[in-house]
Structure 1
Amino acid sequence: MVTPRWVRNKVQPIAVRDVLHYLAGAARLPSSVSRTFDIGGPDVLTYADMMQDYAEVAGLPRRRMLPVGVLSPKLSSHWINIVTPVPKSIGAPLIESLVHEAVCAESEIDAYLPPPEGGLTGYRQAVSLALRKIQDAEFVTRWSDASPTTAPFEPLPTDPDWSGGTAYVDLRVHRTTLPARQVWQVIESIGGEHGWYSFPLAWAIRGWADRLVGGVGLRRGRRDAHRLRTGDAVDWWRVDRLEDGHLLRLLAEMKVPGEAWLELSVTSEHPHGSRYQQRAVFVPRGLAGHAYWWAVSVFHGLVFGGMARNILASSQRRAAVRPDSLNDDHSASSRTAIR
């Protein structure tokens, strides 16, 4: 593959566990120690070495690289934004820093703190440990969890009518004989490898369009295929609120002229069955925001209507494997409103 010249630059990568060791130790140093320290792992490698070592540990073919001088850091960041799940907001600053070598200039921290028990973790070992955690779904954080969230002063989908401004709402309500817990399993597993239960081509096109303008697109996936927690990234959404067994509210982090949320909830109904509610909320920003809503609203019946129906259909298929499952017999109502 064609690569920038900076793949020949040297770097001294350090494992996260070793960084945490030094951070925890630094917190216990006396107040008289007020300075910076360089910390690094035991290996000094080029970025090309790191890519080759990663490929070998991950069981991938050896990479053939052709470094050229025409790929500027800015151009490289655009390319990474398109071909990898890393959004431009994270990739661009990282790429710009790669033109500088990152090797420790001193190791004076050794005079204040001992190294981790068993020694520093080598690069290949760190990669192997990370891949094993991914394979076993044991990881608790990902780079996509670092994207900025909405500022406290920005609007929320729960703002009352008297708070001012315009909020477009697409609301869909379905009733089903399925128990709420059965529907919730599908709600909580939405996105990532399970998709969005409606018009996959439309979601893919919107994801690619978002990537082209520097957004996160659909390639972030999700941390865990079945379980969510508040703050998790789910494709171009982030979990804004989670009430286990009842409510999932997602905040859009794609490039749109406004703020957008998707809220999925299920509530048990007496004597049996449950009520599924799906609410898409968009708070436009300026004239462009209003124009955006009306331009895409013609697809809402296909996208949001199909999503609601298919989520319940998927819940029904899952329930069919149990003897005590009930057949789905749901009635539906839907409306679009402007608050």
Structure 2
Amino acid sequence: MKVLLTGANGYIGRRLKQTLLNEDVFLRLLVRNPKSLDSNLNAEIVQGDTFDMDSLERALEGIDVAYYLIHSLQHKNYKELDKQSAQNFLDAAIKKGVKRIIYLGGLGVKEHASEHLLSRIETGEILSSRPDKIETIWIRAGVIIGSGSVSFEIIRHVTEKLPIMVTPKWVNTLAQPIGVDDVIAYLNASKDLSIDGNLVVDIGSEKMTYKEMMLACANALGLRRWIFPLPILSIKFSSYWLNLFTPVPYTVARPLIEGLSSEVLIQNDNAKRYFSHIHPMKFNEAVKKAIKEMEENQVLSRWSDAGGGQDMWEKQHKHDPASAVLMDRQSIKLRGIPKETIYCTFCSIGGEEGWFGYDWLWEIRGWMDKMIGGAGLNRGRRDCRQLRIGESVDFWRVEDLSVNERLLLYAQMKIPGKAWLEFKIKGDELVQTAYFSPRGLWGRLYWYILTPVHYLVFRNMIRSILKKAQNDEQTK
């Protein structure tokens, strides 16, 4: 069987990719940036996207089963882009003789769905619109619980940070959560299912309100929490509330909150009929498994991978520091410290490790970013030791990574322009450069106002990196 996987760098895509690599299939990946994948990956790579028909048709050539795991939450025109992307994918799949499309969408009834859920439903309808030409298996899931999932991150952060919660009335809305491992199991099994025509499969575990989920999460964390719903709290207020207390930025929180007002319940029994061998774990079990993976540093993927949807529709090389017109450059001799140690040290930046000094200034900048709807610092890191291209480090994203040579971070905080932070080993020197491409007069003022702060922070940062690397080398 020849399988194409799209969205391979997303939260579900990364996990499904690992499962498919262990299956007896030929696997091909359609990605915008091949550098974001492991170099020794046992899969064929096609560079492109669903808006480039030539690359899309190349990716679908000779394919039996194609997974469609593409979606964007943040683009202001995401509904139309989602429709066009799905239509392009369907047309190309039919043209190339693909036998089956497998799509992961959301639970919900169209008549009562939020704008975000409606977009997911419309995408499924497009992909399922030609049963005479191609089969489509449409898996529909609601709240996905797993280490790094956006739903779990929201529930966990709110539960950990707020002993007493005054919440909107949506906490009493019913849903049927499901563990991420079960979602992957259904998606994987769908490629081998023997059916004729289209099939919609609703998946989930027990019915629960969001209030019950938060209390169950608190119990798994060994915490006591009190929740008091108030009907007067608006969607906008709730979105800002989540923005402040969770890693999820406002632009992602708002469509999610709008969707919480609608029940997301299973509408058919096809999961039991066609996948009787899969028994979804209970909510409590899924939460405990997610917590264990976090504690053991075994988080395979996060909702913010590849920008968390923020750059879903952007082209690959749009973020290029060569376009910067302002910079702060620091350099320091390695003093005999192996470059491997220096590299590991600057790649540990962010998250619990912090920013090598003046962390209180970074915290202030993170809160400022949160107040205006940005990501803030509390996205943290997926792994405290390893990095990969496309994943988040606080309010930065890993743009490029060359082992024992270079780390390039792209700023995702709210700023009047574009910014990068680069660490590069050149000969016997570590060169640290902050690049900035300002937008208009305010962008330039922003840079020059912060010049004294940059001098303190960046000058101290490179010295602290060398000092920590030196200490690490001595303790080996």
Pick the TM interval, shorter chain: 0.7 to 0.9
1:244 aligns with 2:403: yes
Higher relative contact order (CA closer than 8 Å, sequence separation 6+): 1
- Looking at structure 2, the residues matched to 250 and 10 of structure 1 have their Cα atoms a distance apart, in angstroms, of 40
Unaligned runs of 5+ in 2: 1-164
Which amino acid in the other structure matches residue 333 of structure 2? R
1:318 aligns with 2:476: no
User: Which of 440, 443, 446 is the equivalent residue of 1:289?
Assistant: 443
SS at match of 2:203: coil
- Choose 70-79 or 105-114, whichever is displaced more: 105-114
Partner of 1:336: none
- CA shift for structure 1 position 109: 3.8
User: Which of 294, 307, 318 is the equivalent residue of 1:154?
Assistant: 318
- CA shift for structure 1 position 78: 0.3
Output aligned runs, 1:35-184, within 5 Å.
Answer: 35-41=199-205, 43-61=206-224, 63-116=225-278, 119-145=279-305, 146-149=308-311, 151-152=315-316, 154-157=318-321, 159=322, 167-177=325-335, 178-184=337-343
Partner of 1:25: 189
Aligned 8 A contact 2:417 2:437 in 1: yes
1:228 aligns with 2:387: yes
SS at match of 1:170: strand
**1:71-94: CA deviation from partner (whole Å, max 9, x where unpaired):** 112210101111222222222211
- CA shift for structure 1 position 27: 3.1
Tell me how large the CA RMSD over aligned residues is: 1.8
- Looking at structure 2, the residues matched to 204 and 277 of structure 1 have their Cα atoms a distance apart, in angstroms, of 25
1:259 aligns with 2:408: no
Partner of 1:15: 179
TM-score, with structure 1 as normaliser: 0.85
Unaligned runs of 5+ in 1: 160-164, 323-339
SS at match of 2:400: strand
- Looking at structure 1, the residues matched to 191 and 292 of structure 2 have their Cα atoms a distance apart, in angstroms, of 30
- Looking at structure 2, the residues matched to 166 and 143 of structure 1 have their Cα atoms a distance apart, in angstroms, of 29
Superposed structure 1 runs of 4+ greater than 6 Å apart:
none
- CA shift for structure 1 position 213: 0.4
**1:213-234: CA deviation from partner (whole Å, max 9, x where unpaired):** 0000111111111111112211
TM-score, with structure 2 as normaliser: 0.61
Aligned 8 A contact 1:170 1:279 in 2: yes
- Looking at structure 2, the residues matched to 155 and 85 of structure 1 have their Cα atoms a distance apart, in angstroms, of 23
Q: Alpha carbons of 1:166 and 1:315: their partners in 2 closer, same or farther (altered >3 Å)?
A: closer
- Looking at structure 2, the residues matched to 171 and 290 of structure 1 have their Cα atoms a distance apart, in angstroms, of 17
- Looking at structure 2, the residues matched to 102 and 166 of structure 1 have their Cα atoms a distance apart, in angstroms, of 46
- CA shift for structure 1 position 291: 2.2
SS at match of 1:2: strand
Question: Greater CA radius of gyration, 1 or 2?
Answer: 1
Aligned 8 A contact 2:350 2:381 in 1: yes
- Looking at structure 1, the residues matched to 401 and 351 of structure 2 have their Cα atoms a distance apart, in angstroms, of 17
- Choose 80-89 or 31-40, whichever is displaced more: 31-40
Q: Alpha carbons of 1:250 and 1:155: their partners in 2 closer, same or farther (altered >3 Å)?
A: closer
Output aligned runs, 1:181-220, within 5 Å.
Answer: 181-220=340-379
Partner of 1:6: 170
Aligned 8 A contact 2:200 2:270 in 1: no
SS at match of 2:201: coil
- Looking at structure 1, the residues matched to 301 and 319 of structure 2 have their Cα atoms a distance apart, in angstroms, of 27
